[in-house]
Amino acid sequence: MNPAIDLILSHRSIRQFTAEPIEPTQLDAILAAAQAAPSSSFLQATSIIRVMAPEAREQLAVLSGHQPYVAQAAEFLVFCADYHRHRQIVPDAKTGYAEQLLIGAIDGALMAQNALLAAQSLALGGVYIGGIRNNPAEVSDLLGLPLHVIPLFGLCLGHPAQAPEQKPRLPRTLVVHQECYQHQLDHDLLAQYDQQMESYYHTRSGYNKQQNWSGQVRAILGKESRPFMLGFLQARGFNLK
Amino acid sequence: MNPAIDLILSHRSIRQFTAEPIEPTQLDAILAAAQAAPSSSFLQATSIIRVMAPEAREQLAVLSGHQPYVAQAAEFLVFCADYHRHRQIVPDAKTGYAEQLLIGAIDGALMAQNALLAAQSLALGGVYIGGIRNNPAEVSDLLGLPLHVIPLFGLCLGHPAQAPEQKPRLPRTLVVHQECYQHQLDHDLLAQYDQQMESYYHTRSGYNKQQNWSGQVRAILGKESRPFMLGFLQARGFNLK
């Protein structure tokens, strides 16, 4: 429809990078793009840690569940929800609410998506690393995060050394509801999508597997989801009151 | 640096719209852009409710804290974290973890930012409505949200009828940390920024006020932040275990 929309629609997560660095002017533009995102109540409750030191990157790659591209990417940015900054301005600030966790997660993601799209527009690529939440306390210690700051996710950025196929998304009508939520899942549509995903996983250029979307959901949600997260959040000042 | 980055950097929240509708092909492109966003573990844990009915829009405008543009915008999309879809596939899915709230909030925001940028590229404008979290239970009931689905925020979209000034962001060095988090806030830089914000609020074309950023933080975080949110989340199946 237009070049910006084409750019957005062309997204693929990139996990293999050349050794070429990102130019400082490009990184500047990417960070400016991140900061241009809207912010809830203009609290600007996000900090970004840019990790360059190879040893730290190696440690983060391991802590993220052995994702080597965390060490290999030209840049690795950790997006954090941050109320420490506010508390230096207002020492008795009322923090720790569940609402504030939502604000932090939402605002951080809005910024990150701006950054990723800016990078893509420069012929760079990237991938989000939710895996830093595998070991959030160790990651926080490594990055020196104070109380009231938590790591949300990482973002690898660099020059792509792969051109993966695009992963098919859920059919629009299963995701977008008109007026009210449609409680009854259309199982025929889901079956078609499962077939599409099975074919995608079977034929894509890298790491083929026998899997469909329903099977993937079953595998992930059949297990606990980082059950230590609540304890971590509480220990870091996000009491979720 | 390039048109896509210029588009991202040109963002302003738009709260006044003409009566002109958004073309169906444009809305299609906006929703496709949303769906092109990355998704954590490819769970696709987001649903979007498109609200068109004028009465529902009026109610949402009131429930959001009397924000009239919720009723006036050409389109109003409510982004939701959704584990109901998964539970229809895996009835005994392990849900309700704090981690899953994070996934839902982050993925929803990634999608929404794609949608907003796609809209901006079509000369449309918009604003996020975190205010739907003022009355999350009432909003959920109005939209017929089942258990395991919660409204995150709304997004007004339409043809702009205003051209507001851009709000200055925090200085880069207060937001982006190199290698490790810088614990000590640079109060000189903050003072400069406060002056910049005071001048912005004093001179902008709409709704002038005597305020700086520190004062705004003090006003917001001096009060409780939607203290009912935890209870709401727990009642809707997000037990935050």
Domain locations in chain B as residue ranges: 3-164, 172-204+207-217
pLDDT at A145: 98
Give the angle subtended at the CA of B19 by the CAs of B13 and B25, to the nearest 5°. Answer: 80
Tell me the C-alpha distance between A226 and B96, whole Å: 11
Measuring CA to CA, which residue among A180, A170, A225 is closest to residue A200?
A170
Tell me the C-alpha distance between B117 and B26, whole Å: 12
pLDDT at A159: 98
- Are A130 and B240 within 8 A, CB to CB? no
Select the residue of B95, B118, B221 nearest A5 (Cβ to Cβ): B118
Q: Could you tell me if B102 and B182 are in contact, meaning their C-beta atoms sit under 8 angstroms apart? A: no
3 state DSSP class of B41 = helix
Q: How far is CA A185 from CA B85, B90, B146, B211, in A?
A: 7, 12, 12, 49
Residues 6+ apart with CB under 8 A from A214: A190, A194, B89, B90
Tell me the C-alpha distance between B78 and B69, whole Å: 14
- Are B37 and A11 within 8 A, CB to CB? yes
Give the orientation angle of helix B24-35 with respect to helix B98-121, to 10 degrees. Answer: 140
Tell me the C-alpha distance between B215 and B220, whole Å: 9
Q: Does A52 touch chain B (CB under 8 A)?
A: yes
CATH class, range B3-164:
alpha beta
Residues 6+ apart with CB under 8 A from A162: A14, A15, A16, A206
Tell me the C-alpha distance between A193 and A51, whole Å: 39
| ipTM of the complex, rounded to two decimals | 0.98
Identify the residue whose tokens are 């709409």. B206
Please report how many Cα atoms fall inside a 13 Å half-sphere around the Cα of residue A205, on the Cβ side. Answer: 5
Q: Does A170 touch chain B (CB under 8 A)?
A: yes
Measuring CA to CA, which residue among B136, B126, B103, B107 is closest to residue B228?
B136
- Are A8 and B114 within 8 A, CB to CB? yes
3 state DSSP class of B122 = coil
Set of chain B residues whose Cβ sits within 8 Å of the Cβ of A105: 101-102, 105-106, 109
SS3 for chain A, per residue?
CCHHHHHHHCCCCCCCECCCCCCHHHHHHHHHHHHCCCCHHHCCCEEEEECCCHHHHHHHHHHCCCCCHHHHCCEEEEEEEECHHHHHHCCCCCCCCHHHHHHHHHHHHHHHHHHHHHHHHCCCEEEEEHHHHHCHHHHHHHCCCCCCEEEEEEEEEECECCCCCCCCCCCHHHHEEECCCCCCCCHHHHHHHHHHHHHHHHHCCCCCCCCCHHHHHHHHHCCCCCCCHHHHHHHCCCCCC
Select the residue of A31, A99, A109 nearest B133 (Cβ to Cβ): A99
What does pTM read for this prediction?
0.98
Tokens for A88?
A: 């230096």
Q: Does A48 touch chain B (CB under 8 A)?
A: yes
Query: What string of pLDDT tens digits covers the 241 residues of chain B?
Result: 899 999 999 999 999 999 999 999 999 999 999 999 999 999 999 999 999 999 999 999 999 999 999 999 999 999 999 999 999 999 999 999 999 999 999 999 999 999 999 999 999 999 999 999 999 999 999 999 999 999 999 999 999 999 999 999 999 999 999 999 999 999 999 999 999 999 999 998 878 899 999 999 999 999 999 999 999 999 999 999 8
3 state DSSP class of B48 = strand
Q: How far is CA A76 from CA A22, A73, A145, A162, B103, in A?
A: 11, 7, 16, 18, 20
Set of chain B residues whose Cβ sits within 8 Å of the Cβ of A1: 25-26, 29, 122
A64-101 per-position pLDDT tens digit: 999 999 999 999 999 999 999 999 999 999 999 999 99
Q: Could you tell me if A168 and A193 are in contact, meaning their C-beta atoms sit under 8 angstroms apart? A: yes
Q: Does A149 touch chain B (CB under 8 A)?
A: yes
Give the angle subtended at the CA of A155 by the CAs of A151 and A160, to the nearest 5°. Answer: 165
Tell me the C-alpha distance between A157 and A120, whole Å: 9
Q: For residue A62, how many other CB atoms are within 10 A of its CB? A: 16
Tokens for B111?
A: 């999608």
Query: Amino acid identity, residue B34?
Result: A
Query: Amino acid identity, residue B104?
Result: G
Q: Where are the beta strands (DSSP E) in B83-208?
A: 125-129, 149-158, 176-178
Identify the residue whose tokens are 């390039």. B2
Set of chain B residues whose Cβ sits within 8 Å of the Cβ of A169: 35-36, 44
- Are A121 and B4 within 8 A, CB to CB? yes
pLDDT at A207: 83
Q: Which residues of A210-231 are buried (b: 16+ CB within 10 A; e: fewer)?
A: eebbbbbbbebbeeebbebbbe
C-alpha dihedral sign at A85, A56, A164, A24: positive
Select the residue of A41, A143, A233 nearest B98 (Cβ to Cβ): A233
Query: What string of pLDDT tens digits covers the 241 residues of chain A?
Result: 899 999 999 999 999 999 999 999 999 999 999 999 999 999 999 999 999 999 999 999 999 999 999 999 999 999 999 999 999 999 999 999 999 999 999 999 999 999 999 999 999 999 999 999 999 999 999 999 999 999 999 999 999 999 999 999 999 999 999 999 999 999 999 999 999 999 999 998 878 899 999 999 999 999 999 999 999 999 999 999 8
Please report how many Cα atoms fall inside a 13 Å half-sphere around the Cα of residue A93, on the Cβ side. Answer: 27
Select the residue of B31, B46, B109 nearest A110 (Cβ to Cβ): B109
Set of chain A residues whose Cβ sits within 8 Å of the Cβ of B128: 38, 40
Q: Could you tell me if A47 and A143 are in contact, meaning their C-beta atoms sit under 8 angstroms apart? A: no
Give the orientation angle of helix A98-121 with respect to helix A24-35, to 10 degrees. Answer: 140
Q: Could you tell me if A107 and A35 are in contact, meaning their C-beta atoms sit under 8 angstroms apart? A: no
